[in-house]
Amino acid sequence: MRVLSFSEKGCIRKNNEDSFLVLSDQGIFAVADGMGGHRAGEIASSTALRELEKLAPELKDQTDQDLEGWLVESFAQANRVVYESSTTEPENAGMGTTLTVLLVRGLKAVIAHAGDSRAYLWRNEELTALTKDHSLVGELVRLGQISLEEAEKHPQRHVLMRAVGADQEIEVDCQRITLQPDDVFLLCTDGVSNVISEQELFAEFKEPGTWEERLERLRQLILERGAPDNFTALCCIME
C-alpha cells in the first residue's frame, strides 16, 4: 500500500491540533482531531495515537476475527488515558479527540471511528462515505430535522456527540470491508470535510492524474478557501 498525507494548521489557528499515524508494517492508518483549550487538543490527539501505537505489536497475535475487538479495546485504552489526563490535570480539562482508524490485513480491512473525522472509499470510480459523523448536526441530519445544506452552515456543527476522552466509556463504530484491487481510502479531519464537499471530492478523484497530484490540488483548494481549521488527510492506495 502507498500512503500520501498532509497535515497543516491552516490560515487561522495558531497550532495544529490534528495528528495522524502511519504504521505500514501493522497495517494501521489513523487521523485524530483534538479539542480543548491551550494546546490540550494537540495533547489529546497525539495521546490517543500514541496509545494505538503502543498496542500495535499485539496485532500479530490476533486472528482476522479478532480485529474489530482489538480496535474497540484500543479505543477504550486511548479513551481511558485521555479521560484521566483531562480530569486530573487542570490545563487539560475538557480535552478530547476524534479518532478514525483504518486497519488492513491481507484482503480484509476494518474501519473504526468516534467523532466527526471521516473515512471514504474510492472504488470503481464511486465515492462511498464509510463513517457517520458523531456530531449534533450529523444526528439532526439522520433524524431528518435539517438538510445536508443546512448542516454545512449550522452554528453548532462543531458540537460532538462522541469523542475519545470526553466520557469514561467510549462507543466505537466498526465496519469490515473486503478489499478489491485499486481501492483507495481517504481518512480526513473536519478541516477537510467542512471545506470540500463529497461532490467536490468525487469530481476531483475522477480527474486524470496521479494521486499525488489529486491530493495536492485538494490541499491547495483548502488553502484558497481560507483554511479556517487545522486540516489533515491520509490517502491509502492499494497497489
Q: Which domains are assigned to the chain?
A: 2-237 (3.60.40.10)
Query: Does pLDDT of 167 surpass 90?
Result: yes
Cα–Cα distance list, 83 to 54, 88, 105, 107, 168 (Å) = 17, 9, 30, 35, 7
Burial class (CB in 10 A: 0-12, 13-18, 19+), 232: buried
The model's confidence at residue 102, banded by pLDDT at 50, 70 and 90, is very high
**pLDDT band per the 50, 70, 90 thresholds, residue 159:** confident
Question: How is residue 198 written as a grid cell?
Answer: 463529497
Q: How does pLDDT run across 4-23, given as a tens digit for each residue?
A: 999 999 999 999 999 999 99
Closest CA to 50 of 71, 21, 25: 21
Q: Which of 180, 179, 160 is nearest to 170 (CA)?
A: 160
Q: What pLDDT is attached to residue 142?
A: 74
- Share the mean pLDDT of the chain: 94
The verdict on pTM exceeding 0.85 is: yes
Weakest-pLDDT range from 59-73, 144-158, 163-177: 144-158
Inform me whether the pLDDT recorded for 153 exceeds 90: no
- For 152, other C-beta atoms within 10 Å of its C-beta total 13
Is the pLDDT at 149 greater than 80? The verdict is no
